[in-house]
Structure 1
Amino acid sequence: MQFLKLRLQNTYAVAQARKKDICGYAPHTKNSAMPDIRNISLNKEKTVVEIHWGDDHKSSWDAILLRLYCQCDRCVDKICLSSLNEDTFVQSVKLDTAPTDNDLLVEIGNDIFDKHVTKISLTWLRLNCYCDLCLNNAIAERQTSFVDPQISFIPSVEYSRIVDDRDAGLFEVAERVMKVGFCVIKDTPTVEETVIKVAEMFAPVHETVTNKMFNVRIQPGPRNTAHTALGLCYHQDLPWYETEPGVQFLHALKFDEDIEGGESQFVDLFQVAEILRKEDPEAFNDLARIPATYETIDYIRAKPAHYETLKPHIELDYFGNVVALHWNPGVEGTLRAKGDDVKKYYRGYNKLLGIIRRKELEWAFRMDAGDIIVFNNHRMVHARKAYSSKENGQRHLQGCYISLDEFRSVYVTLGESLNREVPLFKVGNKSSF
């Protein structure tokens, strides 16, 4: 009979030296230390290792995961799930008893490597415990923090801060965007394409249907309301893409003093969704189930476009958490829902819209020439108040987009290099992590 034999040995430091699992993932292990252990035992079927830690926490590790997450020299970067044959491996897994020490060593019958011993740091096992409590705590730590716009200052960083200490300045911008959803970089040069130069300090600029950079100003014969002086309703940019652009930069090249109106407005859509979930669970569930249609179909514009997609306003993950939101009434296409869902959809739609319009949730402020607003386009909906000028004043903005994942990576890595606290937040990239 082939079986999996479990024992422990004093070979700790494997995880500290490598800090990555067999598929190349490096868990966040800053300031991790060897945990105390009270007891290690097996379940009745001898297929799960049960670890009772010194802090009284209990972890259960399935034998299949123990084999997959081996950190020995033979396995790191060489073996992933696809390497294991279910017929010959999964069905033959068994565990035997073991003493206690620093590393878990596991022998598996019918292993794909001859005379292989699986080795996993106990520190790694504690850090990556996947029990309900640990998963829930990890998710809770990453929940979006909601900031009350009625009692808070507009988050901002002076451009001179970036010039004087680039890494610290960029981190402080990213930190505010991660925590609040947006940040204003003050007093940047009012020179065309400055917005691209600033954005590229974080990540490469994305080319979209609006090209690498776009202008927001009054234009003759406009095909977009943004190119008028009319107000813009709350929206996210370009929702008809598979994934909306992640981080948007908007630079005020000109905002003449005689212009009346034109204030920028922001609302945290994640906060809106949680309010809806609390106040009307039925509407929340309907908007998480029934898809909206987003489209831009225009063959006569300078850059012809045909974009169309269906996705719900609210996306939930495996854990039932809101991980993505989509909202732009200006580019909604024909609803493609089953007949019984039409009234349910619009009931939920109106509920969500009503919460978005609540004044107590709104950030509203006037940009100054030289301001660059940096915001999470997956989290924040933005709008503009109508404006006018008696003396032909100009309001001219330039904008561009970068990847949200790249932006978050810069936030984390800069924070680590600067020895700052780097809490990880849910950002709207369809994941709780």
Structure 2
Amino acid sequence: MSSRLLLRVVKNSKDLKLARRSLMLQNAEFRTCHGGAGGKRWMFTVVMATDTTSSLYQDMIDRKIIHPAQFKAEGDSTIKSVTKLKDGKLLEIEWNSGGKHRYHSIWLRHNCHCPDCKLVVSGQQTVAIETIPSSITVQDIDISDDKVMKMVWKEGDVTHKGYIPTDYLKCYRYSGNALAEKSEAENIKFSTDTAIPEIDFKDVMETDTGLYKWLKLLGERGLCLVKNVPTISNQIREVIERVCYIQHTIYGEIFEVKSVENASNAAYLSIGLRLHMDQMTYESAPGIQLLHCLKFGEEVEGGESVFADIHHIVDVFRREHPKEFEVLCRVPVTYEIMGYYKSSGREKPVHQQIHKPMIVTNQYGHVISVAYHENLTGALQAHEDDVEPFYDAYRLLVQSVHDWPYKFYHRMRPGDMVTFQNRRALHGRNSFINRGGGERLFQGGYMNIDEFKSMLIYLHNTIGDGSRLCRMGLNDMC
């Protein structure tokens, strides 16, 4: 745009804010001058506006509603052409990099990134959905800027002028097979490698690169052994707080795992523990568990830690027992724990109960979460026709877990901290016997899965390649 045209538009605008909006110059600098007959006042810019949209993408970054790193994996998001369909109710975008995707006008309007529609910093939407009628159409489109698609929406006499970054459009494409392809990309890449990946404590604590490596191993493999952790109390908290706050449960924040008499929890005995997930009685069970070995005397025989990937087990189970798999997806299980008495060893009385299926799939049939704890299953509350089919299916799944050939075994040593996805990596232990004065003492704690995933995505986008991460066992339907 020439400086002369810019001045004319500004002179004819009654309001500075209106002038900015009509020109889509969110960052332009204006000042007051005098001129014309009778000392008439008008506004003009001291900025030469060679391209009115060139500043829009930077403006969104300045407003902190987007970050270029979040779209790193999308590559070239330049739009080659846009075609209006159904009189503007639908747009078809063709990308320079190949491929076409369709977007509804109401979706585009709801995702407008202009200052009237997105809050600074948080990027929260301020447009009320009830103000956007289903009949809204896109009237005008401008793709002269490689980074931004400008639009004018129209409904009757009401118009709205706004824009959306093109990398946002490409990232959140949804037409055709786009969603199925994204869901497929998030499937876990299973491995039969039973060596537990390792990382040094100093790397995790002292550099963001080391922190990213640890979280990425946890995300991809489901477990990771942190070595050379100081054998002092509360190191669990130090490690967790590199990512987020520690998650509180009915066992407090940091709990000890050791053999005690008359324990209310099998974990505090010396018996073997069958493979399980912790805290299945929660609607949102802890996502990451950490167990820090403080003492493990040579006099203690047995007590090795055991792990298995339940998502891998269920993947095989589904192929071998499709009818039973369907039953476990459909019939809810009761998970229950109670402690009404002081001898339960908890700070407050407890009676948790929840009903949920063992296996949850998304709209594409991909397994997104599994809940598994044999000792916390309460009284089944299912339709009478489902009782026997459920127990037949459950028995088969339990047998599949017990017979699984790709288990991880590790005898913890003082200074080891095993970290694992509680919703993916089943954990247990072999029974142990103390032949002398030795002691087996662990400290444990939990990390919220959403906060873990948040930090991993941030580091993956800023340090890593930004590609889609695999599922982590939470109820994310994508």
Corresponding residue number in structure 1 for 2:397? 352
2:139 and 2:151 in contact (8 A); partners too? no
1:239 and 1:294 in contact (8 A); partners too? yes
1:260 and 1:389 in contact (8 A); partners too? yes
Which of 102, 125, 128 matches 1:83?
A: 128
Corresponding residue number in structure 2 for 1:5? none
Following the alignment from structure 1 to structure 2, what is the Cα–Cα distance between the partners of residues 414 and 39? 34
Following the alignment from structure 2 to structure 1, what is the Cα–Cα distance between the partners of residues 75 and 404? 47
User: More deviation in 47-56 or 230-239?
Assistant: 47-56
- Deviation at 1:358? 2.7
Corresponding residue number in structure 2 for 1:74? 116
2:118 and 2:125 in contact (8 A); partners too? no
2:117 and 2:127 in contact (8 A); partners too? no
SS of the equivalent of 1:92 reads coil
RMSD, matched Cα: 2.8
SS of the equivalent of 2:451 reads helix
Q: Normalised by the size of structure 1, how large is the TM-score? A: 0.88
Following the alignment from structure 1 to structure 2, what is the Cα–Cα distance between the partners of residues 79 and 422? 22
Q: Does 1:108 align with 2:150?
A: no
Q: Does 1:363 align with 2:417?
A: no
| Consecutive unaligned residues in structure 2, runs of 5 or more | 1-50
Question: In the superposition, relative to structure 1, how do residues 178 and 123 fare at CA in structure 2: closer, same or farther (>3 Å)?
Answer: closer
Corresponding residue number in structure 1 for 2:183? 139
1:34 and 1:122 in contact (8 A); partners too? no
Q: Give CA deviations for 1:122-174 in whole Å, capped at 9, x if unaligned.
A: 33322321123222222222222222134xx32111223345x3323322221
Q: What are the within-5 Å matches in structure 2 for residues 207-246 of structure 1?
A: 207-246=248-287
- Deviation at 1:392? 3.6
- Deviation at 1:59? 0.7
SS of the equivalent of 1:67 reads helix
Q: Does 1:52 align with 2:94?
A: yes
- Deviation at 1:365? 1.4
Corresponding residue number in structure 2 for 1:119? 163
Corresponding residue number in structure 2 for 1:11? 53
Following the alignment from structure 1 to structure 2, what is the Cα–Cα distance between the partners of residues 125 and 213? 44
Residue 169 of structure 1 aligns with an amino acid whose one-letter code is G
Following the alignment from structure 1 to structure 2, what is the Cα–Cα distance between the partners of residues 161 and 191? 18
Residue 302 of structure 1 aligns with an amino acid whose one-letter code is G
2:337 and 2:352 in contact (8 A); partners too? yes
Corresponding residue number in structure 2 for 1:206? 247
Compare CA radii of gyration and give the structure with the larger one: 2
Question: In the superposition, relative to structure 1, how do residues 260 and 317 fare at CA in structure 2: closer, same or farther (>3 Å)?
Answer: same
Following the alignment from structure 1 to structure 2, what is the Cα–Cα distance between the partners of residues 17 and 320? 41
Question: In the superposition, relative to structure 1, how do residues 81 and 167 fare at CA in structure 2: closer, same or farther (>3 Å)?
Answer: closer
Q: Does 1:154 align with 2:199?
A: no
Following the alignment from structure 2 to structure 1, what is the Cα–Cα distance between the partners of residues 164 and 328? 43
User: More deviation in 408-417 or 178-187?
Assistant: 408-417
Corresponding residue number in structure 1 for 2:313? 272
Following the alignment from structure 1 to structure 2, what is the Cα–Cα distance between the partners of residues 202 and 99? 42
- Deviation at 1:33? 5.8
SS of the equivalent of 2:144 reads coil
Corresponding residue number in structure 2 for 1:39? 81
Corresponding residue number in structure 2 for 1:4? none
Which of 371, 375, 379 matches 1:330?
A: 375
Q: Does 1:173 align with 2:214?
A: yes
Following the alignment from structure 2 to structure 1, what is the Cα–Cα distance between the partners of residues 142 and 453? 42
1:176 and 1:182 in contact (8 A); partners too? yes
Following the alignment from structure 1 to structure 2, what is the Cα–Cα distance between the partners of residues 384 and 302? 22
- Deviation at 1:81? 8.1
SS of the equivalent of 1:414 reads helix
Following the alignment from structure 2 to structure 1, what is the Cα–Cα distance between the partners of residues 356 and 73? 41
Following the alignment from structure 2 to structure 1, what is the Cα–Cα distance between the partners of residues 203 and 97? 43
Residue 299 of structure 1 aligns with an amino acid whose one-letter code is Y
Which of 185, 189, 194 matches 2:235?
A: 194
SS of the equivalent of 1:323 reads strand
User: More deviation in 58-67 or 116-125?
Assistant: 116-125
Q: What are the within-5 Å matches in structure 2 for residues 280-319 of structure 1?
A: 280-300=321-341, 301-303=344-346, 304-319=349-364
Following the alignment from structure 2 to structure 1, what is the Cα–Cα distance between the partners of residues 67 and 379? 44
Corresponding residue number in structure 1 for 2:434? 389
1:294 and 1:333 in contact (8 A); partners too? yes
- Deviation at 1:344? 1.6
Which of 373, 398, 407 matches 2:443?
A: 398
Residue 165 of structure 2 aligns with an amino acid whose one-letter code is S
1:20 and 1:26 in contact (8 A); partners too? no
Following the alignment from structure 1 to structure 2, what is the Cα–Cα distance between the partners of residues 168 and 299? 46
Q: Normalised by the size of structure 2, how large is the TM-score? A: 0.80
- Deviation at 1:349? 0.9
| Consecutive unaligned residues in structure 1, runs of 5 or more | 1-8
- Deviation at 1:430? 0.8
SS of the equivalent of 1:238 reads coil
SS of the equivalent of 1:306 reads strand
Following the alignment from structure 2 to structure 1, what is the Cα–Cα distance between the partners of residues 95 and 459? 33
Q: Does 1:340 align with 2:375?
A: no
Following the alignment from structure 1 to structure 2, what is the Cα–Cα distance between the partners of residues 131 and 340? 40
Q: Give CA deviations for 1:193-243 in whole Å, capped at 9, x if unaligned.
A: 222222222221112111111111110111111111100011110100111
1:21 and 1:76 in contact (8 A); partners too? no
Following the alignment from structure 2 to structure 1, what is the Cα–Cα distance between the partners of residues 358 and 332? 7
Following the alignment from structure 1 to structure 2, what is the Cα–Cα distance between the partners of residues 239 and 69? 37
1:142 and 1:432 in contact (8 A); partners too? no
Corresponding residue number in structure 2 for 1:30? 72
1:323 and 1:429 in contact (8 A); partners too? yes
Q: How many residues align?
A: 418
- Deviation at 1:84? 3.0
SS of the equivalent of 2:137 reads coil
SS of the equivalent of 2:71 reads coil
Question: In the superposition, relative to structure 1, how do residues 415 and 31 fare at CA in structure 2: closer, same or farther (>3 Å)?
Answer: closer
Following the alignment from structure 2 to structure 1, what is the Cα–Cα distance between the partners of residues 450 and 143? 40
